[in-house]
Structure formats: structure tokens, C-alpha cells
Amino acid sequence: MKKTLISAAVLMAAMAGTAMAGTLETVKERGALQCGVTSGVPGFSVPDDKGNWKGLDVDVCRAVAAAVLGDATKVKYIPLNAKERFTALVSGEIDMLSRVTTWTQTRDTQLGI
């Protein structure tokens, strides 16, 4: 399952085209990745008692930060609920969404993501 999720993330990033190029430059200039995650789903993204985020979605954010910035710790986690997630992505509040979300044609065509 982990390979499938990572493969899907890579495929979506490849399909983003020029929008991704602008986001990539923004992340590099800022020096940190703003990553949207769930507000707390054990196994996917949840902060521990010290505020450290853990889970599969968090690991994907760290992997992208490591690849883009050379440092897996250069991530700001932004917890989002299902209603907020796409608005935050489309508006640029977050650079990347790594949370339990299905991939649909409607989201590709109507939201442009």
C-alpha cells in the first residue's frame, strides 16, 4: 500500500506541469514545505504529546522536503479537515496535500488540481 501511495503522489506531481514549477520555486525560496495533513488520524498524521507529527502522510511530506530542500525537517504541517483541504491547496495556503484523499476526475477537471 505504501508503494501505491508514493507512486500516486509521484504521478500527480509529474502531471502538475507548470503549476508545480511555480510551487517548487516558492518552496525553495521560502526554505520550507507547507504540507497539508489531516488534523489527527493515527497511522496517517497525528502530533504526539510534544507536537511532533508522525504517520504515513507526514513521512511523504518529509520525503518531499528532503528531495527538494535537502532536509526532511523543513516542513510546516498544516492540519486540514476534508472541507478545507482543496481550498487550501488551490489558494496556495499549502504547497502540497498529503492526507487521506481519493483521486477523482472531477477534482482534476473542476478544481484543476
Q: What is the DSSP string of 18-48?
A: HHHHHHHHHHHHHTSEEEEEES-BTTTBEE-
**pTM more than 0.85:** no
CATH number of 22-111: 3.40.190.10
Query: In the chain, what are the domain boundaries?
Result: 22-111
pLDDT tens-digit series, residues 83-95: 999 899 989 999 9
CA distance 68 to 66: 6
pLDDT tens-digit series, residues 8-44: 554 455 444 445 568 899 999 999 999 999 988 899 9
pLDDT tens-digit series, residues 44-65: 999 999 999 999 999 999 999 9
Secondary structure element (H or E) that encloses residue 75, with its range: strand 75-80
Residue 50, pLDDT score = 94
Which amino acid is present at 62?
R
3-state helix, strand, coil in the chain (%, to 5): 50, 20, 35
